Amino acid sequence: MFSTVNQKNQYAGTPMSITVRAVNPSGSTVAGFSGQVHLKEITSYGDGRVSPEFVTFSNGQWSGNITMYRADETSINRGNVNLYALIDNAPSKNGTSDPFTVHPAPFSRVQLVVPGETVLPGSVAGKTGSPATQSAGQAFTVNVWATDAYWNPVPSADNVRITSNDPAANTPVTGVLSNGFRQLSVSLGTVGTQTLTVSDLSSGSIQGMTSPGIQVIPAGVNKFVIATIASPQTAGVPTAVTIRATDANGNTIPNYAGDAIVQANTGAGSIAPEFVTFTAGVWSGSMVFKGSGGAVSITASDFSSPPHTGTSNSFTVNPGPLAGVQVLVPGESPRGGTTDGREGTVTTQQAGTAFTITVRGVDQFWNLVPSVNDSVALSSSDQFAGMPAHIRLTNGQALVQTTLYLVGSQRIYGNDITNLGLRPDTSSAIPVNGGPFARLLILAPGETAAPGMPNGRAGAATDQSINYSFNVTVLATDNWYNPVTGVTHTVRITSDDPLATLPPATPLVNGRVDVPVKLARGGYNQITASDVTQPAIPSSSTQVRAISSGFHLEASVSPGSARAGEPFTLNVRVTNDAGSVIQEINSFVTVRVQNASTQQAGRGTLLTTQFQLLQGQRNVSETYTFVEPIVVIATDDAGNAPATSNVITITPGQPSAIQLTSAPSWVGGNKHATVRARLVDAYDNGVPDQAMAFQLLSGTGTLTPIDPLTQPDGAATADFLSPRQPEHDQIRAISGSLQSDLDLETAFVDPNAAGGHVTNYPNPFHPPQQSTIIAYKLADNASVTLRIFTMSGDLVLRKTFDNGGPGGIQGLNEYTWDGKNGKGDVVASGGYIALIEAEAKGATLHVIRRKIAVVR
């Protein structure tokens, strides 16, 4: 505890009288403390220097003068300075004084701070760091401060001057301080170690200072000079190149070790390397030119701002051998030597409108090889694209007229078929926009929209059952059957089946409508969609065959495998013989599971086993709990033929627990046990092929892992060798974030044995050097009589044990027999019978016998 600071205004370098006491929690002085205490000055800028820094207490206190050197006037009224005391080897024992203010001492010196240095008022040197290296002739800024004797800044408007020992410096430089501070620009011109000195021109009594030595190095590079590069070069073939860093007169700078970027006028990435490091002002090495051209040049530039540069002579780079083809689309231009050989932004195309693509034979760097006349196969992601399947290059390239019909992002593929094995090419993505609403398209079940096809559809309409409804789809499309959204025209469905049940005129919703149709006439029937709102819009027709046939269930599951307890989809539907869904049958379905391999009932639980169809079918999210390959068998209450699904393989779920056991469950001394860790999911399925680690947490047994990974049943094993003496060993199994612990007991007597059990160990034993322990278990507290007989029935020894006392307690009891009879003589070698009789509550509890062998 510090004494009260009565004078709130102190001055740097001026001692202040203070008393510091060691106190207990109640504030009383601890008179017995006489140790060393560390003192600090704490300011809003950080720790300050004090003197003395360490004091030694006597009778629990120290009194004396303390001098602070760092000024802090940030809070004039309250003060932002505190004295802080602590014991270094017990820093939690500390104390802080009242706050006060420390003012700077009078102006007495000027301080010079150069780049690389940082001011530190109150310190011995007044600053930290060391001067940064400067380049000859390059100006840099220095700071000048007016300070007290302890380097605390003070206000001043004196005129200061900076001089140097370097005759080539731009000194002397002068300037007037503003509120005690001024920045001045200085340059040094002589290579070597130079210094700067600051002095006060206004007052000769103010002490100046000289900076530490400043290392001056030659000025930076002025330009790069690239040795003449021979012409022509071949793309991909290395050639020697030398680049020098020079001054303005072309002289190599011998100590230059900077980096430079090298770029070619053929584009980014068209040369290698593009980044070089100079040694002694020179870089020499092999360079590969990738972009071909008749006036190729390279430019080297460093990282200065602005950069220093140098450009080579112009030379020719010829393309390399043919390596593949290139497909360029509108908006793109070739750019040999770059990563993908193209530049520009692809322009959007209109469906059904022809445009021109360029197909080129190129080397490995995308340079045109003009001598090539190969044949190229063309294809597109738009399977209905209008373009030739094969074209022939002339002087290395061909212009190909192409028409795309499918809306969206499409690509064109090119592959050389004259020289098989060359690199094929995929064009950039071409945005294709559809046209305006121009026609209708009707689709029956089994048909899909196919923009670009003559009738706009692919697939074949499936047969439908007479007098059962099915849905047809009507789409608003452009001239090439691309769907057009936003259309709300009303459409009418008609048929050449005079008895067909047809929907009323129905408006499109965002360019589409699905409506039910029911045919009554067998054979092929025409179904037509026409535009009521705008009759001039071309109609669309499709043909559907109506049949009369039996119905049956169909079932399918997806995906083909799922983890136990995780969802998969079961689809059940009623179809006719043509596979069409019968929407009017909404029967009640029951499903069961069968093992796909054994055809036996599944051993797990299916989440949903009964549900009703909706419009002839139903998708149900299911889960199953047992690991096995299964099929789902569906029946319904409508008498339809049952269905068997495809096979789905159920695999183990995520690991959920470790089942840790031992065989046997306890172990005798110096015996082996097999420790089994079974990794299971939430449904008790073993999880195979997972890492399993074993740890012996406590005990002196030896645990040796056998399986690093879990086996097909999810189990991994380890061998446990017990110690020779009884104990409990704690074993842990770890897999991922899961763990399980097992307490494995080493015992001479079965810890699980019931009352009436007896054993002895060792057996045989060798008296008088060795005794044997007779261990027996009682079902309850009892009075016990232990007698040992010879095999002929002669009594050798008799012992009694009180009820509830040692030898007569419930559980395990032990008696050590030293092999002597009741007279204290060692018995002879041979067999003996131990007879143990226990009585409790007036009745016989146990009569136990044990044969004991003595070998002398």
Pairing of strands 610-612, 702-705: unpaired
What's the rounded Cα separation, in Å, for the pair 227 and 222?
Answer: 16
What's the rounded Cα separation, in Å, for the pair 110 and 758?
Answer: 99
Pairing of strands 666-667, 738-746: parallel
**Residues 53 and 117 both lie in one domain:** no
How does DSSP classify residue 58? B
Mean pLDDT over all residues of the chain? 92
What's the rounded Cα separation, in Å, for the pair 126 and 765?
Answer: 88
**Residues 705 and 613 both lie in one domain:** no
Tell me how far apart the terminal alpha carbons of the chain are, to the nearest angstrom. 81
Say which residue the tokens 């090495």 belong to.
Answer: 285
Residue 790 domain-assigned? yes
User: Domain with 639 in it: what CATH number?
Assistant: 2.60.40.1930
Check if the beta carbon of residue 602 is closer than 8 Å to that of residue 630: yes
**Residues 575 and 666 both lie in one domain:** no
Question: Residue 101 contacts by C-beta under 8 Å, 6 or more apart in sequence?
Answer: 8, 9, 10, 72, 73, 75, 76, 79, 80, 81
Residue 768 domain-assigned? yes
**Residues 125 and 211 both lie in one domain:** yes
Residue 135 domain-assigned? yes
Three-point CA angle 469, 472, 475, nearest 5°:
160
Q: What percent of the chain has pLDDT over 90?
A: 77
Of 180, 197, 217, at which residue does a domain stop?
Answer: 217
Residue 1 domain-assigned? no
Is pLDDT of 53 > 70? yes
What's the rounded Cα separation, in Å, for the pair 162 and 185?
Answer: 10
pLDDT value, residue 1: 56
Q: By three-state DSSP, how is residue 386 classified?
A: strand
| Span 295-323, pLDDT tens digits | 999 999 987 778 899 999 999 999 999 99
Report, as an integer, the average pLDDT of 783-796: 94
Check if the beta carbon of residue 166 is closer than 8 Å to that of residue 189: yes
User: Lowest-pLDDT range, 128-142, 325-339, 653-667?
Assistant: 128-142
Of 615, 648, 681, at which residue does a domain stop?
Answer: 648
Residue 332's closest CA among 428, 448, 396? 428
Is pLDDT of 483 > 80? yes
Question: Residue 288 contacts by C-beta under 8 Å, 6 or more apart in sequence?
Answer: 236, 237, 238, 239, 271, 272
pLDDT value, residue 472: 97
What's the rounded Cα separation, in Å, for the pair 50 and 20?
Answer: 15
pLDDT value, residue 249: 61
215 sits in which H/E element: strand 214-217
What's the rounded Cα separation, in Å, for the pair 736 and 452?
Answer: 55
The pLDDT-based confidence of 564 (bands split at 50, 70, 90) is: very high
What's the rounded Cα separation, in Å, for the pair 475 and 809?
Answer: 92
Of 103, 135, 157, at which residue does a domain stop?
Answer: 103
**Residues 242 and 292 both lie in one domain:** yes
The pLDDT-based confidence of 252 (bands split at 50, 70, 90) is: confident
Is pLDDT of 46 > 90? no
Largest Cα span, the chain: 131
The pLDDT-based confidence of 643 (bands split at 50, 70, 90) is: confident
What's the rounded Cα separation, in Å, for the pair 573 and 308?
Answer: 77
User: Domain with 19 in it: what CATH number?
Assistant: 2.60.40
* CA contacts within 13 A on the Cβ side of 240: 2
Residue 329 domain-assigned? yes
Report, as an integer, the average pLDDT of 90-104: 90
The pLDDT-based confidence of 3 (bands split at 50, 70, 90) is: low
**Residues 557 and 541 both lie in one domain:** no
Pairing of strands 349-350, 430-433: parallel
**Residues 702 and 725 both lie in one domain:** yes
pLDDT value, residue 395: 95
The pLDDT-based confidence of 703 (bands split at 50, 70, 90) is: very high
Residue 719 token pair: 């061998």
pLDDT value, residue 318: 94
Report, as an integer, the average pLDDT of 329-355: 93
What's the rounded Cα separation, in Å, for the pair 222 and 1?
Answer: 66
Q: How many domains does the chain have?
A: 8
**Residues 130 and 200 both lie in one domain:** yes
pLDDT value, residue 5: 62
Check if the beta carbon of residue 754 is closer than 8 Å to that of residue 776: no
| Span 147-158, pLDDT tens digits | 999 999 999 999
How does DSSP classify residue 852? E
User: Domain with 364 in it: what CATH number?
Assistant: 2.60.40.10
Q: How buried is 653 (Cβ within 10 angstroms: 0-12 exposed, 13-18 middle, 19+ buried)?
A: buried
Residue 100 token pair: 């006060």
Report, as an integer, the average pLDDT of 660-672: 92
Using left for φ > 0, alpha for ψ between -120 and 50, and beta otherwise, residue 396 falls in left
pLDDT value, residue 222: 84
Q: What are phi and psi of 751, to 5 degrees?
A: -65, -15
**Residues 355 and 313 both lie in one domain:** no
pLDDT value, residue 232: 96
pLDDT value, residue 121: 93
| Span 152-184, pLDDT tens digits | 999 999 999 999 999 989 999 999 999 999 999
Residue 3 domain-assigned? no
* CA contacts within 13 A on the Cβ side of 788: 22
Provide Rg for the chain, Cα atoms: 49
Is pLDDT of 97 > 80? yes
pLDDT value, residue 499: 87
**Residues 60 and 127 both lie in one domain:** no
User: Domain with 847 in it: what CATH number?
Assistant: 2.60.40.4070
Residue 672 domain-assigned? yes
Q: How crowded is residue 317: how many other Cβ atoms within 10 Å of its Cβ?
A: 30
Residue 440's closest CA among 540, 508, 527? 540
What's the rounded Cα separation, in Å, for the pair 768 and 818?
Answer: 7
What's the rounded Cα separation, in Å, for the pair 652 and 47?
Answer: 63
Beta bridge partners of 449: 457
What's the rounded Cα separation, in Å, for the pair 65 and 44?
Answer: 23
The pLDDT-based confidence of 4 (bands split at 50, 70, 90) is: low
Residue 571's closest CA among 605, 607, 622, 626? 622
The pLDDT-based confidence of 701 (bands split at 50, 70, 90) is: very high
The pLDDT-based confidence of 753 (bands split at 50, 70, 90) is: confident
How does DSSP classify residue 82? E
What's the rounded Cα separation, in Å, for the pair 684 and 686?
Answer: 6
Q: How far is Cα of residue 240 from the mean position of the Cα atoms in its chain?
A: 44
Check if the beta carbon of residue 367 is closer than 8 Å to that of residue 442: no
The pLDDT-based confidence of 6 (bands split at 50, 70, 90) is: low
Q: What percent of the chain has pLDDT over 70?
A: 98
Residue 752 domain-assigned? no
Is pLDDT of 2 > 70? no
pLDDT value, residue 220: 67
pLDDT value, residue 748: 80
The pLDDT-based confidence of 465 (bands split at 50, 70, 90) is: confident
Check if the beta carbon of residue 258 is closer than 8 Å to that of residue 328: no
**Residues 197 and 238 both lie in one domain:** no
**Residues 13 and 30 both lie in one domain:** yes
Residue 522 token pair: 């067998």
Q: Domain limits at 785?
A: 758-854
